[in-house]
Amino acid sequence: MPAFPIKGRDLGNMVGLKYSQVTSRLQILIEKGLVVRVDRGVFVRKDALGVWGGDLKPERPDPTVEADTVLAALKDGPKSIREIGFAVNGELSSSIIRKYLTAAREAGQVEYANRSWTLKTAA
């Protein structure tokens, strides 16, 4: 990982990995606190964040927006967690998606059956 902000797609081109593989690895590094997401699809090593000045601040995702994004991905029909991950362009890790889906199921917004999540229809 270079010591400057880089897009996930560009990083994939540098190392010869698919975008989905790069975002998966970046999510793991984010969870470990080694990489920071500074913009949509732009990442930087945490130790290099201060080098780039005050204009780059770690983005703090709004959990409400993330949850709404997961639910919006289900509007087209049933999806697995992996399919939801592709629908949100790899912006959320599978563990985050699972967390939002579990909360939505407890709130009665979604259902889980046959390895797929669906929006719960009003009866």
* Whole-number CA gyration radius for the chain: 16
Q: Which tens digits make up the pLDDT trace of 24-83? A: 888 888 888 888 877 777 777 877 666 555 454 445 555 677 788 889 999 999 999 999
For domain 63-119, which architecture applies? Answer: Orthogonal Bundle (1.10)
The domain locations on the chain are: 6-52, 63-119
DSSP code at position 20: H
Q: Give pLDDT, residue 83.
A: 92
pTM passes above 0.75:
no
